[in-house]
């Protein structure tokens, strides 16, 4: 199934009156911001960034050692970045899926899978223990085939995973139609080790828990410079500075405070739509009663899921890189991408013709060449960072935070001994080669979708050198 490259007038009309506030953040339950930092302070552990990674770092640090003084500095407000803009897919995988992990860390794949399943279980336990209301659904995820060759790929994945006791379920055309009624999906691959969540509500719940435990949070407090002085970490902000024994960077796709990170991470913009709530007859026309998370198996793929109030989130396909790691709010509103998403939605669900979208938004994904998180240190080991989740961080950020704390505390664990944790992705080249390479990869992936998944020489070379591109 080749999706249209040109949106119709109906598609453009369907997104004509949208709000450009991310749906999850457009919520009356959104907490009031904490005051900014206005005077010099000191702390044991400084965390920069109040998204999932930063909040999980603070929560685990305080629960492990209640006497540890922890401060979070946030440039905007909690979850304003990727944590409040994603699709809410919480995957057990730490490696951006089985195939990516199998191709890069085959000897560790069993350990990584077990750690990922444990991590997801601990997230669920934390949500229940803290009473966080975030529409958590342990409903699994289904990858959908739109072409026959994808069915063969699904069968291959099942066979590759069997020796590692990783379970996938193959779904034929009739079984898929019992999951979701659509003319374009011809089969599927079900994984139960995936959940759905309202990501902003989860982040706000973690935020509340951190504050109750005594974490000091300063919002609207951007860090302008980070350096080491007299064996301490100094973070400079517009109105004050903070002195810390140790620091954890949790800034995701935001411009990095350490120069070395820029060679490993590029911000790639992803876009999403949210429909108005479906009527009972509209829901009957497509089925989909199970709340499964769904995505198609194209290189330029769509991800979609339902919400507690009966809407459909539909996102993905475009993954846009801007020159020299371009970043900013001006890049979050892309009418061409919104209209194209609306056109593709109408192809997937012709029975929902006439439905309108209420929200359309974009956000940056912290993409790295291995598509999964990596860790590093600076300032003689006093600063640690984790980056590169590549759109798969809703669940794995908790693991990323746990590893950061292990590294900061010089704690040898089964996590820190992994090659997955010790290694780094290949760096991206400088401009103009960076833009040329990324855009050539995007074009090549689109061509592969039009050519039964067959990769051209460029993509084969990228695979060979471990330097790729994904949304």
Shared domain check, 218 and 354: no
Give the model's pLDDT for residue 368. 96
Q: What is the DSSP string of 173-191?
A: HHHHHHHB--TT--EEEEE
Tell me: do 98 and 208 sit in the same domain.
Answer: yes
pLDDT tens per residue across all 471 residues of the chain: 578 889 999 999 999 999 999 999 999 999 999 999 999 999 999 999 999 999 999 999 999 999 999 999 999 999 999 999 999 999 999 999 999 999 999 999 999 999 999 999 999 999 999 999 999 999 999 999 999 999 999 999 999 999 999 999 999 999 999 999 999 999 999 999 999 999 999 999 999 999 999 999 999 999 999 999 999 999 999 999 999 999 999 999 999 999 999 999 999 999 999 999 999 999 999 999 999 999 999 999 999 999 999 999 999 999 999 999 999 999 999 999 999 999 999 999 999 999 999 999 999 999 999 999 999 999 999 999 999 999 999 999 999 999 999 999 999 999 999 999 999 999 999 999 999 999 999 999 999 999 999 999 998 888 877 765 544
Closest CA to 56 of 270, 265, 252: 252
CB atoms inside a 10 Å sphere around CB 230: 6
- What was the pLDDT predicted at 471? 41
In the prediction, which pLDDT does 467 show? 65
Q: Is residue 38 part of a domain?
A: yes
Helical pair 199-212 and 52-64, crossing angle rounded to 10 deg: 30
- Nearest Cα to Cα of residue 111 among 423, 463, 466, 416: 416
Q: Is the whole-model pTM more than 0.85?
A: yes
Beta strands of 201-253 (E only): which ranges? 216-218, 225-229, 232-236, 241-249
Residue 432: is the preceding peptide bond cis (ω within 30°)?
yes
The answer to whether residue 186 sits within a structural domain is: no
Query: How far, in Å, CA of 282 to CA of 276, rounded?
Result: 11
Q: Contact at 8 Å (CB) between 233 and 247?
A: yes
CATH number at residue 81: 3.50.50.60
Residue that has been written with the tokens 């685990």 in this structure: 60
Is residue 413, in this structure, part of any structural domain at all? yes
Q: Give the total number of structural domains in the chain.
A: 2
User: Are 398 and 422 part of one and the same domain?
Assistant: yes
Q: How many helices (H) and strands (E) does the chain have?
A: 13, 19
How far is it, in rounded angstroms, from Cα 158 to Cα 171?
A: 12
The domain in which residue 445 lies consists of 1-30+266-367+433-471
Give the H/E segment covering residue 362.
strand 357-367
- Residue tagged 């007299």 (tokens): 230
CATH number at residue 467: 3.30.9
161 lies in some domain: no
Same domain, 242 and 390: yes
Residue in the structure block whose two tokens are 């199970």:
290
Q: Judge if 86 and 103 occupy the same domain.
A: yes
Whether residue 178 lies inside any domain: the answer is: no
pLDDT in tens, 406-427: 999 999 999 999 999 999 999 9
Answer yes or no: is 174 within a domain.
no
Whether residues 323 and 437 share a domain: the answer is yes
- Verify that 419 and 458 share a domain, yes or no: no
**Sign of the CA dihedral with 371 first, then 416, 401, and 329 last:** negative
Rounded Cα–Cα distance for residues 281 and 285 (Å): 6
Same domain, 443 and 318: yes
What does the alpha-carbon distance between residue 253 and residue 364 come to, in Å, rounded to a whole number?
6
pLDDT of residue 415: 97
Predicted pLDDT of residue 147:
96
The dihedral over CA atoms of 53, 55, 59, 61, expressed in degrees to the nearest 10, equals: 60
Rounded-to-integer distance, Cα 402 and Cα 59, Å: 10
Tell me the C-alpha distance between 321 and 365, whole Å: 10
Say whether both 237 and 334 belong to one domain. Answer: no
pLDDT in tens, 280-333: 999 999 999 999 999 999 999 999 999 999 999 999 999 999 999 999 999 999
* Same structural domain, 230 and 363: no
Predicted local distance difference test score (pLDDT) of residue 1: 58
Q: Which residues contact 394 (CB under 8 A, 6 or more apart)?
A: 52, 83, 86, 88, 89, 90, 91, 197, 199, 202
Same domain, 232 and 287: no
In a domain, 163, yes or no: no
Question: Domain check: are 277 and 402 in the same one?
Answer: no
| Alpha-carbon gap, residue 396 to 113, rounded angstroms | 12
CA 168 to CA 66: how far, in whole Å? 41
Is 79 inside a domain boundary? yes
CA separation for the pair 450, 454 (Å, rounded):
9
Q: Indicate the SS3 state at residue 129.
A: helix
Cα distances (angstroms) measured from residue 293 to each of 144, 289, 309: 11, 11, 15
């Amino acid at each position: 199934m080749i999706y249209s490259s040109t949106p119709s007038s109906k598609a453009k009309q369907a997104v004509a009156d949208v709000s450009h506030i991310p749906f999850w953040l457009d919520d009356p339950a959104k907490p009031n911001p904490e005051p900014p930092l206005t005077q010099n302070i000191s702390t044991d552990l400084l965390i920069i960034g109040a998204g999932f990674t930063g909040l999980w770092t603070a929560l685990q640090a305080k629960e492990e050692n209640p006497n540890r003084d922890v401060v979070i500095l946030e440039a905007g407000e909690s979850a304003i970045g990727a944590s409040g803009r994603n699709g809410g897919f919480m995957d057990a995988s730490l490696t951006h899926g089985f195939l990516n992990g199998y191709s890069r860390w085959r000897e560790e794949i069993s350990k990584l899978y077990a750690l990922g399943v444990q991590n997801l279980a601990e997230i669920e336990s934390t949500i229940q223990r803290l009473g966080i209301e975030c529409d958590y659904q342990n409903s699994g995820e289904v990858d959908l085939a739109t072409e026959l060759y994808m069915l063969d790929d699904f069968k291959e994945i099942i066979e590759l995973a069997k020796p590692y006791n990783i379970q996938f379920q193959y779904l034929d055309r009739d079984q898929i139609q019992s999951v979701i009624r659509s003319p374009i999906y011809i089969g599927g691959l079900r994984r139960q080790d995936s959940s759905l969540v309202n990501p902003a509500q989860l982040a706000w719940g973690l935020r509340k828990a951190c504050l109750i435990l005594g974490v000091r949070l300063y919002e609207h407090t951007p860090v302008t410079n980070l350096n080491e002085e007299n064996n301490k970490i100094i973070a400079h902000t517009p109105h004050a500075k903070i002195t810390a024994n140790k620091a954890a960077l949790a800034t995701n796709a935001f411009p990095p405070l350490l120069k070395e990170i820029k060679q490993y991470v590029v911000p790639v913009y992803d876009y999403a739509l949210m429909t108005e709530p479906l009527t009972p007859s509209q829901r009957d026309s497509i089925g989909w009663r199970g709340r499964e998370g769904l995505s198609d198996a194209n290189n330029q793929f769509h991800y979609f899921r339902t919400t507690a109030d009966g809407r459909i989130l539909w996102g993905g396909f475009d993954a846009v890189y801007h020159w020299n790691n371009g970043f900013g709010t001006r890049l979050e509103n892309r009418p061409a991408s919104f209209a194209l998403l609306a056109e593709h939605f109408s192809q997937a669900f012709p029975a929902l013709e006439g439905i309108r979208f209420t929200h359309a938004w974009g956000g940056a994904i912290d993409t790295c060449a291995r598509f999964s998180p990596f860790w590093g240190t600076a300032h003689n080991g006093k600063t640690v960072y984790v980056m590169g989740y590549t759109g798969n961080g809703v669940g794995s950020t908790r693991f990323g935070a746990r590893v950061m704390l292990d590294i900061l505390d010089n704690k040898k664990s089964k996590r820190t001994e992994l090659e997955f944790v010790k290694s780094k992705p290949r760096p991206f080249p400088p401009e103009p080669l960076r833009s040329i390479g990324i855009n050539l990869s995007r074009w090549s992936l689109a061509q592969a979708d039009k050519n039964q998944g067959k990769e051209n020489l460029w993509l084969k070379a990228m695979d060979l050198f471990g330097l790729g591109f994904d949304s």
